[in-house]
Structure 1
Amino acid sequence: MRTITIQGLDKPVSCLIKGSDYFREDVYEKAARNLDAYFAIGGNTIDTAYIYCGGESEKTIGRWMAERGNRDQVIILTKGAHHNKDGPRVNPEAIEADLQESLQRLGTDYVDLYALHRDDPSVPVGIIMDALNEHIQAGRIRAIGGSNWTTARLQEANEYAAQHGLVPFTFSSPNLSLAKANEPFWSGCVSADSSDCAWHEQHQLPLLSWSSQARGFFTGRFTPEVRDNADLVRVFYSDANWDRLRRAEQLAAERGVTAIQIALAYVLNQPFPACALIGAQTPEELESCRQGAEIVLTREELEWLEHGTPVRA
């Protein structure tokens, strides 16, 4: 499996990152089989978060690593400082509390990749970067990033880090998919647009995309008339996205693959380091992702898929 390099880590990150937002302790055996199968195809990175399944996601991963004895082979991406009912929590105290509990649940003394799950633009970046760097210095975090941070805030944070001799953000995790979001899927979420992608290309900052396959938009199950998934209708139903689906289907037919594999390849062939968080729960879904990760697309094909420009005439 293809990999990317993220500054701060001593091993490469697989281009497919295994999602775990359904990992509950009552489905442990299913989750364990899923992780075993994912690692068998060359994956090595698991995405989780302090809030996933009320903490059960991290506990499930921790149990699996303990049973397999493979912590040194696993790259853990976890996230913290998500808002709660009282509002934003992007502050040193919340980061400390969430990180310490995440470490306990995971049964480890460090996380490879730590991302702030949301941003709070009212908090100066200096306060945030100072706090995160304390945990890096203590060995609790190897690399830091922002999940759902704008590129403007990422740049501001990294400029502060450069000015103060600190470790910068070395990855970002917004949504990036061939289907463009009409509005945020959840409040405070960020989807990368063309200007964001241009920024990532300029800085070559790795992007780890959630909802990389647009939550099934490219499976063929959905049409403009099928409106049984209110969230998908709200976020991804648009004339432009139906056109993108048709172009993905056309290219898929030419390549002998599926449209959803083309959508995955769109994310992984960007002109900057990119990974895709995947939600595959069955061997068939996992194999589809493995095959999609092997597809190579040219820059002209990426442009045609997204905008329909006549480069393929």
Structure 2
Amino acid sequence: MKKISIKPGLGCSQLILGSMMLHEEKMEFSAGLMDAYVTAGGNSIDTAHVYGASSSRAVGIWMQERKNRADMVIIGKGAHHDDKGPRVTLEGMEQDLAETFERMQTDYVDIFMLHRDDPNQSVGYIMESMNKQLEAGRCHALGVSNWTIARIQEANEYAAAHQLEGLLCNSPNLSLAKPNEPRWAGCISVYADDAAWHERTQLPLLSWSSQAGGFFTGRYTPDNGDAELIRVYYSEDNWERYRRAEALAKQKGVSTNDIALAFVLNQTFPTCALIGPNSVAELQSSANALALSLTQEENRWLDLRKES
């Protein structure tokens, strides 16, 4: 499986396995899914403190049994807000990392990401706090999830000016279907200006919800869908994107969902897609998109930026 470089010696496979569906109480299923992912060539697992102890413990048990911690790239997200409000603080970072290490039976994550931003905190304080985690060996690279491009740029400018390590990757939502509104509060999706910034900077993008919550699976129609999908993705432009993806899929002999995932993986800047398969069959289906090349002309046409 193709990998993208986060920094020298640290590369993520283009498909990153999400961990929300993994559970310590369902280790046969969880281990089987992680085994199948590694067999397919994957090396990266997305974890988050807020996903809960059972998810992280399943990953930790599996790595201990397989003795493969050194082979895996573990993404750990922390400092998510709670019912009292934002937690983007040094204390929040260190508390979440300490609990993650206990759950996963490890003493570091390969990439530490802030799960949310707190615009009331200065980027200087945030970057100083994140760099303390690097200096302590608790992580090997820094990134963020659900930050605006303006804040990422400001943070990296601060880091460069103060001889600190900057943010090496960004994890927003990037998909062929464009959300009408955030799927969850505080979430950030990539639109044209954001994609242009990533093209200029070549900062790696690790996309969550790359397949738009199943919008391209064929299970839904403009007249039928679940409430969340309707709220977030139902629009005439997205249904036109669906029709174009369906037409291109027929031409190439693949599924519409394959086209949607290939759209994310064939950008003009480094990308990975976080996937959340609920079975080995779903994992293997997502892997089909890895062999599918789309030209930039095809990508622009799919995204309604080109008429023919």
TM-score with structure 2 length normalisation?
0.98
Aligned residue in 1 for 2:294: 297
> In structure 1, what is the Cα distance between the partners aligned to 2:26 and 2:228?
25
> In structure 2, what is the Cα distance between the partners aligned to 1:115 and 1:65?
21
> In structure 1, what is the Cα distance between the partners aligned to 2:157 and 2:136?
22
Indicate the SS of the match to 1:186.
Answer: coil
Question: Deviations 1:119-142 (Å, cap 9, x if unpaired)?
Answer: 001100010100110110111110
Aligned residue in 2 for 1:157: 155
> In structure 2, what is the Cα distance between the partners aligned to 1:57 and 1:78?
12
1:100, distance to aligned residue in structure 2 (A): 1.2
Indicate the SS of the match to 1:112.
Answer: strand
Aligned residue in 2 for 1:243: 240
Question: Deviations 1:98-121 (Å, cap 9, x if unpaired)?
Answer: 111111211111100111000001
Indicate the SS of the match to 1:108.
Answer: coil
Aligned residue in 2 for 1:39: 38
Alignment match of 1:266 (pick from 263, 267, 275): 263
Question: Deviations 1:177-209 (Å, cap 9, x if unpaired)?
Answer: 000000000000000111111111111000000
Question: Deviations 1:2-58 (Å, cap 9, x if unpaired)?
Answer: 110002x62321000001112122212101000000000100000110010x22111
Alignment match of 2:90 (pick from 84, 89, 92): 92
Aligned residue in 2 for 1:77: 75
* Structure 2 residues not aligned, in runs of 5+: none
Question: Deviations 1:149-173 (Å, cap 9, x if unpaired)?
Answer: 0000000000000000000000000
Indicate the SS of the match to 2:6.
Answer: coil
TM-score with structure 1 length normalisation?
0.97
1:90, distance to aligned residue in structure 2 (A): 0.6
Aligned residue in 2 for 1:51: 50
> In structure 1, what is the Cα distance between the partners aligned to 2:93 and 2:283?
33
Indicate the SS of the match to 1:38.
Answer: helix
> In structure 1, what is the Cα distance between the partners aligned to 2:170 and 2:303?
21
Question: Deviations 1:253-292 (Å, cap 9, x if unpaired)?
Answer: 0000000000000000010000000111222211211111
> In structure 1, what is the Cα distance between the partners aligned to 2:74 and 2:86?
24
> In structure 1, what is the Cα distance between the partners aligned to 2:69 and 2:161?
35
> In structure 2, what is the Cα distance between the partners aligned to 1:244 and 1:308?
11
* Structure 1 residues not aligned, in runs of 5+: none
Please tell me whether residue 256 in structure 1 is matched to residue 253 in structure 2: yes
Alignment match of 1:106 (pick from 104, 107, 127): 104
List 4+ stretches of structure 1 deviating above 2 A: none
Instruction: Please give the residue correspondences for 1:100-249 in structure 2 after superposition, counting only pairs within 5 Å.
Output: 100-227=98-225, 229-249=226-246
Question: Deviations 1:209-256 (Å, cap 9, x if unpaired)?
Answer: 0000001000000111113x1111100010000000000000000000
**CA RMSD for the aligned pairs?**
0.9
Alignment match of 2:59 (pick from 50, 61, 80): 61
> In structure 1, what is the Cα distance between the partners aligned to 2:280 and 2:102?
30
1:308, distance to aligned residue in structure 2 (A): 5.5
Indicate the SS of the match to 1:17.
Answer: strand
> In structure 1, what is the Cα distance between the partners aligned to 2:62 and 2:224?
39
One-letter amino acid of the counterpart of residue 267, structure 2: Q
Aligned residues: percent identity?
53
One-letter amino acid of the counterpart of residue 10, structure 2: K
Please tell me whether residue 286 in structure 1 is matched to residue 307 in structure 2: no
Judge conservation of contact 2:21–2:278 (CA < 8 Å) in 1: no
> In structure 2, what is the Cα distance between the partners aligned to 1:238 and 1:23?
32
Indicate the SS of the match to 2:195.
Answer: helix
> In structure 1, what is the Cα distance between the partners aligned to 2:11 and 2:87?
31
One-letter amino acid of the counterpart of residue 214, structure 1: A
One-letter amino acid of the counterpart of residue 183, structure 1: E
One-letter amino acid of the counterpart of residue 280, structure 1: P
> In structure 2, what is the Cα distance between the partners aligned to 1:10 and 1:212?
26
Indicate the SS of the match to 1:77.
Answer: strand
Judge conservation of contact 2:175–2:210 (CA < 8 Å) in 1: yes
> In structure 2, what is the Cα distance between the partners aligned to 1:125 and 1:3?
30
Judge conservation of contact 2:25–2:54 (CA < 8 Å) in 1: no
Aligned residue in 2 for 1:2: 2
> In structure 2, what is the Cα distance between the partners aligned to 1:24 and 1:283?
15
